[in-house]
Amino acid sequence: MISHLGPRLALKPRKRFAKDAVLIVDGTLVPTRDHKVAEQSKNYRYSTNHQVVIDADTRLIVVVGRPLPGNRNGCRAWAESGAEVAVGNTTTIADGGYRGTGLVIPHRRRSKDEELPDWKQAHNKSHKQVRARVEHVFARMKCWKILRDCRLRGNGVHHAMSGIARMHNLMLAG
């Protein structure tokens, strides 16, 4: 029953975005018992890494990438999960872990002794405030017990994540 309904309830990724849309991406770890799709991650649990992209204005989830082993870093997971292809050329904000991907990331100091100019510090502050929205989405998604210890096998982890994303969007949209 679940294997039949799971794909039907899952979030359908968007094909196009508005010209002036701003998206936010981040990855989250979902503890998973299926060791074929999971690896030990930084928290020593078997997890899968999911790249989630939200619309910065509406906070709706627009893309959930394919699950990857939890030991993948953000840059690699961004490219391998299919999230990068789904987003295309749309302006996307990310944290500092996505260096070299072409995403908008915070300014960094070149050395420990260097101070950032005031305008860069102001930009980093606004960047952090906007990017916090994706962390709030993760907090709401992880209220669902299935994402705290996913026992589904194979594509079940992806269907669970996509289904929770769709329910999140339904709650926000009303």
pLDDT beyond 60 at 3? no
pLDDT of residue 1: 46
Single pTM value for the model? 0.85
pLDDT of residue 14: 66
% pLDDT > 70, the chain: 90
Q: What is the DSSP letter of 80?
A: H
Tell the burial category of 149 from Cβ atoms under 10 Å away from its Cβ (0-12, 13-18, 19+): exposed
Closest Cα to residue 14, out of 49, 60, 48? 60
pLDDT of residue 119: 93
pLDDT beyond 70 at 11? no
Closest Cα to residue 152, out of 41, 72, 67? 67
